[in-house]
Every structure is written in C-alpha cells, then in structure tokens.
Amino acid sequence: MLTLRPILSALRSIALISFTVGTTFLSASAFAEDVTASNPNPAKNVILIIGDGMDDHQITIARNYLKGAAGRLTLDDMPVRSSVAVLTVSEQAPDEYIYVADSACSGTSMSTGQATSRARIATTAKSDIDIETIVEMAHKSGFKTGIVSTSSVTDATPAVFASHIQYRFCENPEKMVTERFSCPQDLKANGGPGSISEQLAVSNVDVIFGGGMENFTPTVEGGSTSVLDSAIANGFTILKTKQDLNNVTTAGKVLGLFADKHLATKLRGEDGRIAEKPEPSLLNSVHWSLGEVDLPEPMTCETNPDAADTPSLLSMSSKAIELLSTDNDKGFFLMIESASIDKQSHARNPCGSIGELDQLDETVAYALKFADQHPGTLILVTADHAQAAQLVPESSMFSGLDIPVYSPGSMVRIITPEGGLMGVNYATNDFFAEEHTGAAVPLYANDVAIGKIDTYISQTDIFDIAKQHLGL
C-alpha cells in the first residue's frame, strides 16, 4: 500500500532543483523554501481539489480545447503525478469488489480512508456504520474546515466529508422516504441524524459554498422551521448571491447557497447543442457495409448565458481560502469540487465538461500561489472516478475504405480554437444519462508531496496522506 517515505530536507531541496518543470514553479518553490526557513512551524493546510469524473480523456479533451494539443494546463506543471485505484465494494458482500464507482463511494474512500459500496455517504457497506471523516477529525483537532462545490452542497462529493447516510439521494427531509429510495434508519424519529441538508445545517464546518438551496427550504423532520433556519440557529451566516460572496468577511461559520440546484456551467455547446447520433442512410439498414452516414455538423463551445449570476469556482474557492486562513495559526482542511465535469458527461455535453475543467485548472493555479506563500500547504488534485466521454477520430479512421463506419453512440465534432476538429464520443448506453467508467484516475500534488506519494496508490491512501500532513 502507501509508503510515506520520510525525506531529509536536503534531499527535498535537491529534488526541487533537479525537477524539470516550468520556470514559474521553480522560482515559486525557491520562495517557499525561503519562507519555510524564516518560519519553521507554518500553519498546516490541506487543499483537496476533486474534479468529479475528471479522467485522462476529460483532461485531454479540455487541454486540446483550452490550450491546444501541444499546450499545457496548470495541472501539467505540477511536480507530483500518481495514478489512483478506485475501489468499490459490494453492498451485499463487502469483501468483494465491483469495478465501477459512483461519487458517494469514491468520495467516502477519500474522506474516511475506507472503501464502501455505491450510494453510501461516509457509512460502511451492509453494516451501515458511520465512519469519521477527515473534516470531522480536523475540526476536533482545532483546524478550520471548508467544503466548496459547483454542485448542490448536499450532492455526494461534498456530502461525504460532513454527513453520514445510507443513501446519497436522501438530501433533505422530504427525500428521506420516497417510492424509489429511502433512509429509514437515518430518520430522526428512528434515532438517526436526519437528511444530508439537516446534518450540514448543524455541522461544525466553517465554510460551505455551492448550490442546493432547494434542499434547505423544507421543514426539518419533527420541527416547524426550515433547514435553513436550523443552519442560522446553529451559527451560520447565509449567503445567496455573488455580491454576498464578495462582501463576506465574517470570522464565523458561513453557508453560501448560490443556486436552487447545481451551479450553471461556464460553457455550453453552440446554441445549446450536445452530442448527436450519426445518421446512416436507409440503405445502411439493409447491410452494414452499404449506404453512407451523416456525422453531426461541427460546432464550437460558447459561454453559457445561464452562468451570468453564478459565482465561479475560483471566486468561491479564493473566498473560502481567505476566510479559513485569516487569523489561523493552526491551519485548515478544504475540499474543493468541480462537479459538472461528471454531470455534463452524463448529459453528453463536452463543452460543459470543458468549462468545468477550465474552472478547476484556474482554481488549482490560485491554490498553488497560496501554497507558495504558505509553505505548510499540501495541494492534492484528483478525480473520484472515470467518465463516459472518449476522445475519438472526428471521422472514422476506416472511412478511406468507402464503407460507412460510425459510432453506435452519440458524438460531437468540436471546432477547437487552434482550428482543429475534435471528436468526442459517448456510448455507455442508450439511456438519457451516460454512465461512469472504471479506469484508475490521476492524482497531482504540489512540491510539499515530493517523495511522499507512490506511483500507484488507492483512493483510501489520499485520506492517509491528508491525515498525516495535518498530524491527525
């Protein structure tokens, strides 16, 4: 499993000097070393940035569009790169593995260090025991904590860091018992902690930013006031708009809910287009080698007008870092999620995913700058699971054979800013939503982690790495 190799500071310096990365990073690291020398006990911070569904296909598609095929994302210049196994166990037989995760179980691996079954929020498979999260442990040890997401804050990835429930869809008191799912043992009436929003409202998390207001307007179970009122009674200042976010300076707990559901994505397909099915001619239905096929017309990505009033991931994250680091000698743990890389891949909308990855990359750049000035800061960037999108030839490599070869799924042919044509394909099913896939995911880290992370680790090791850095 993980080998956290202790390294001498001299060795670390050599690694920093000899590492072949961009000049910006080298000079910034040298600066960090200087700061360390003048302050031997800096605050210890962990910033864990999760791109939901951000596998290497998603990263490559986004790089091609945003920077060009030979260009580089901020991610590409980070000094540590590892590959992470995504472990999921069976609900019925927790000693058996299954091979494709959801965000609930994969997030739980990172937040608690224990693999669980799909749809579980920081609880064990089958036995349904609550597992303490890194956010709860950090708070108990005196660290400040924060959760930022472009999804509803009750969605699986943010939820696994500060709540415990059998089923991820039990997001508010009205969703605890439905026809399709229920969380009976988590009902307050049965001695449980209530829904995800009710748990977040009474949590000790210092900063919670994202969407999901609709999960805070229902009445708390067994009470007469809303979940939002419960959060206010528990000391949270509530933010609702971009302006609220810009203006907040409070030292107390802050809950920012900037949309009813998930936050709007930065980009969308031209005129709202998503992937479309290739259209074979009638003759092709007679025999696969006959007739011809019309592929979807090429398109560009465009700014999503729905996002005009939506705070960016960067603005939420930079405010969270400001609030968590001000007057704080101990340090903090902050989880930041770019959620809709996944959601837009489910929706076969590659431009949506590209915009979300762009938001993640600019947030990573900000976090790295913060770490340069606060050298006790460990930055980890990873994904929770792989997704459906594939980067494919924009027209078949077999098209020269003069037979109509085309994807059985849906595809987009994106005109890139560098003037190329990029094919993105979705073919996990014919349902209205694509599915996750099971490949290992990438992990990137800043210079603090050099020599401390093996080439191939498990998601549960990410919990150990963060825990060890904070000394929990």
Q: Which is nearer to Zn ion, 104 or 379 (CB)?
A: 104
Rounded (10°) CA dihedral 342, 343, 345, 350: -100
Least separation in angstroms between residue 124's CB and Zn ion is: 22
Least separation in angstroms between residue 100's CB and Zn ion is: 11
SS3 445: strand
Taking CB atoms, the residue at the shortest distance from Zn ion is 342
Least separation in angstroms between residue 346's CB and Zn ion is: 6
Q: Which is nearer to Zn ion, 407 or 437 (CB)?
A: 437
Rounded to whole angstroms, how far apart are CA atoms 170 and 187?
10
The H or E element containing residue 411 is strand 410-415
Altogether, the residues listed in the chain come to a count of 472
Rounded to whole angstroms, how far apart are CA atoms 71 and 310?
28
Give residue for tokens 């005109």. 415
Size of the site for Zn ion (CB under 5 A): 1
Give residue for tokens 């600066």. 31
Least separation in angstroms between residue 342's CB and Zn ion is: 4
Among candidate residues 306, 381, 310, the one with its CA nearest the CA of residue 349: 306
Least separation in angstroms between residue 70's CB and Zn ion is: 31
What are the b/e assignments for 219-256, b being 16+ CB within 10 Å?
A: ebbeeeebbbbbbeeeebeebeebebbeebeeeebbbb
Rounded to whole angstroms, how far apart are CA atoms 280 and 286?
11
Q: Per the residue annotation, which of 82, 103, 163, 338 is the catalytic one?
A: 103
Rounded to whole angstroms, how far apart are CA atoms 423 and 434?
17
- For 191, the token pair is 């001695």
Rounded to whole angstroms, how far apart are CA atoms 451 and 441?
20
**Active site (annotated) includes residue 103:** yes
Among candidate residues 152, 228, 223, the one with its CA nearest the CA of residue 188: 223
Least separation in angstroms between residue 365's CB and Zn ion is: 26
- State the greatest distance between any 2 C-alpha atoms of the chain, in Å, as a whole number: 77
Q: Which is nearer to Zn ion, 375 or 442 (CB)?
A: 442
The answer to whether 310 and 241 are in contact (CB under 8 A) is no
Q: Does 221 bind Zn ion (CB under 5 A)?
A: no
Among candidate residues 148, 173, 150, the one with its CA nearest the CA of residue 227: 173
Q: How far is CA 347 from CA 339, 378, 426, in A?
A: 13, 33, 10
Rounded to whole angstroms, how far apart are CA atoms 276 and 411?
5
Residue 366 makes CB contacts below 8 A (sequence gap 6+) with 314, 317, 318, 321
Q: Which is nearer to Zn ion, 206 or 342 (CB)?
A: 342
Q: Which is nearer to Zn ion, 383 or 448 (CB)?
A: 383
Least separation in angstroms between residue 306's CB and Zn ion is: 20
Least separation in angstroms between residue 163's CB and Zn ion is: 18
- Binding to Zn ion, residues 317-356 (CB under 5 A): 342
Q: Which is nearer to Zn ion, 55 or 342 (CB)?
A: 342
Among candidate residues 228, 230, 241, 238, the one with its CA nearest the CA of residue 207: 238
Residues serving a catalytic function are 103
> Which residues make up the interface to Zn ion (CB under 5 A)?
342
